A and B are shown apart, each in its own frame.
Chain A
Amino acid sequence: MNGDTTKKSTPYTVPIGPVHPALKEPVMFNFLMEGEVVKSVDFAPGNVHRGIEWMGMRRNPVQIVHLTDRICGICGIVHSLSFARAVEQIAEIEVPPRADYIRTILHELERMQSHLLWAGVAAHELGFDSLLFLTWRVREQSMDLIENLTGNRVNYGIVQIGGVRRDISNDQILLIEQGLAYYRGLLDQMKTVFLDDSTIRMRCRGHGLLSYRDAQLLCAIGPTARASGLAMDVRHDYPYCAYGDLDVQPVLPPQEFGGPQGDVYDRIIVRLLEIAQSIDIIQQCLDSMPAGEVLWEKKLPKLLSILKKAHGEAIGRVEAPRGECMHYVRMDGNDAPATWKVKASTYSNLMSWIPMLKGEQLADVPIIVASIDPCMSCTDRVTIIRNGSADDLTKEDLTQLSREKTRRFSRC
């Protein structure tokens, strides 16, 4: 018996992935376990690297907008918006105010559907499948709304350099208001279901901890950072689109739930409150929507010839549902941009897995992994091909790179 225990307590490795039911996307984890407890963890992304930036540097900006949609199917607006904003700054294009408002409305609708999607996935990871089905059912309402406004359920293709492709009619405004009313009525119920449930509280409170300090050191962003108490939100700190006119504050876990503690539970709270915030923002947009054009230049050949002459570099930043998303673009008078670099939100959040997972039980791994709302298809731009074989960066390299990069960006 004694011998058995010693044998069991020696660390052993549990590999999970890249194809695993608990993971929606391919990523490889290696857990060093002692009994049921995670001693250390390493992960290897890179499975969904498609070389989008490389492809983009062979296409013109109008074509790239469609490519940016497909960086990630959940953040359709986020990537196209930050890319478009970067190009607009380079070519000094002024987006009409109405287009800015429409972009904001769609951006927030996307945040709503993304957070609902996440809430469902989180419920599934907790083993609460009926809640997954319920949240995804109510999510369909926002999908219908998005489809009505853009023509697509996913990969909207609505953003164009210099504006949006479609205007919102008065009938559609009515539809949006109905949709908002529907979600307003559901909010309390959702809070009860997610936050008053004792099982969810037991599984999430105090698990997957990310301290304020760690969140800062690891450059966490978005809801992951806000749940740890970092008051940061690009919409508030560097307003873009219509956010300058609106009242947007970073959402932190409120005092009634004991303030920010940086656990999985706090991440649920932040995302639920952000759904309420999105409803509020869309309402503000509808109330003060200006009239006018929605495109800076309607004729594509003319737009392309202007973009071809553009010189310079710029960064487009937006607050994605998962945190800040950045696109760096440099144009040098050619059809295609000379450089295009994407920094997706999950890229900054991945490192927080390491402190979060340490000391947790294997059974809590899925929900903790899901709690940062990881999106590998956004993130996998770091596979390095050396001597013909794909070679992933180690986690130290990645942290180092990520820090250097943030520093580089913050200097610009």
Chain B
Amino acid sequence: MKLTKSFNRSLWVFHLNTGSCNGCEIEIVATITPHYDPERFGIKLVGSPKHADVLLVTGPVTKMMAPKVRRVYEQVPDPKLVMCIGSCGQSGGVFYDSYNLDGPIDQVIPVDVYVPGCPPRPEAIIYGVVKAWEKLERLEAAQ
């Protein structure tokens, strides 16, 4: 894992639940609490998509949530990244044959980083955020 040279910005993430089982939610919250403590790198959960650089999306996107997912995505300012946390957002996971899904997530909004696992471990989520960070800085450099 190679971190980019410049730690020139704090990465703020907004978390969006699109119908997940909560497994990924609690792992995300476990990730930001002191045991793993990514806040020392400025990674922080924020309360509004308008403040966020990265959108963490969990869950298989139920029919009722799909329009809300699009709206939240539009509210995140550019440059932005979307991370899909958990297997059910990638492929439907155990819910693959459900009748009430519009997902997986990449059918609804573009996804940049996938973190597989059901749920992924906090270490995996942090690794995913690092990947997102690298991509975000590449995007910025290109601008």
A residues at B contact (CB < 8 Å): 18-19, 21, 24-26, 46-52, 54-55, 58, 66-67, 70-74, 76, 117, 120, 132-134, 136-137, 139-140, 143, 153-155, 375, 377, 383, 390
What CA separation (Å) do A51 and B101 show in the bound complex? 9
What CA separation (Å) do A138 and B49 show in the bound complex? 30
B56-110 residues at the A interface, CB under 8 angstroms: 59-60, 62-65, 68, 72, 88, 93-95, 97-101
B residues at A contact (CB < 8 Å): 16-27, 29-30, 33-35, 47-48, 59-60, 62-65, 68, 72, 88, 93-95, 97-101, 118-119, 121
What CA separation (Å) do A24 and B27 show in the bound complex? 13
Smallest CB gap from A44: residue in B: B64
Describe B's contact surface by its main secondary structure.
loop
Assess A137 versus B34: contact at CB under 8 Å? Given A48-B59, A58-B97, A153-B121: yes
Option from A26, A54, A55 in Cβ contact (under 8 Å) with B65: A26
Assess A73 versus B25: contact at CB under 8 Å? Given A55-B98, A133-B34: yes
The reply to whether A73 and B30 contact each other, CB–CB distance below 8 Å, is no
The reply to whether B100 and A50 contact each other, CB–CB distance below 8 Å, is yes
The reply to whether B68 and A377 contact each other, CB–CB distance below 8 Å, is no
Interface Cβ pair total, 8 Å cutoff: 119
Option from A18, A51, A74, A390 in Cβ contact (under 8 Å) with B22: A74
Assess A377 versus B21: contact at CB under 8 Å? Given A67-B94, A73-B119, A154-B119: yes
Assess A54 versus B34: contact at CB under 8 Å? Given A73-B119, A74-B22: no
What CA separation (Å) do A242 and B100 show in the bound complex? 38
Within 8 Å CB of B27, what residues of A?
153-154
Option from A47, A70, A74, A143 in Cβ contact (under 8 Å) with B64: A47
The reply to whether A26 and B17 contact each other, CB–CB distance below 8 Å, is yes
Option from B29, B47, B62, B121 in Cβ contact (under 8 Å) with A49: B62
Q: 6 tightest A-B contacts by CB?
A: A73-B23, A21-B47, A136-B33, A73-B22, A48-B19, A140-B35
Option from A50, A66, A139 in Cβ contact (under 8 Å) with B19: A50
Assess A140 versus B98: contact at CB under 8 Å? Given A25-B17, A50-B19: no
Assess A136 versus B35: contact at CB under 8 Å? Given A70-B21, A73-B22: yes
The reply to whether B98 and A143 contact each other, CB–CB distance below 8 Å, is no
Distance of B76 from chain A, by nearest CB (Å): 12
Most chain A CB atoms below 10 A, which of B35, B48, B60, B98: B35
Distance of A276 from chain B, by nearest CB (Å): 22
The reply to whether B118 and A155 contact each other, CB–CB distance below 8 Å, is yes
Distance of A363 from chain B, by nearest CB (Å): 15
The reply to whether A136 and B29 contact each other, CB–CB distance below 8 Å, is yes
The reply to whether A49 and B19 contact each other, CB–CB distance below 8 Å, is yes
Smallest CB gap from A54: residue in B: B99
Smallest CB gap from A141: residue in B: B35
The reply to whether B17 and A70 contact each other, CB–CB distance below 8 Å, is no
Within 8 Å CB of A377, what residues of B?
19-22
Distance of A263 from chain B, by nearest CB (Å): 26
The reply to whether A383 and B26 contact each other, CB–CB distance below 8 Å, is no
What CA separation (Å) do A377 and B86 show in the bound complex? 15
Can you list 7 A-B contacts (CB < 8 A)? A25-B22, A47-B62, A48-B65, A70-B88, A70-B93, A73-B21, A73-B119
Within 8 Å CB of B48, what residues of A?
21
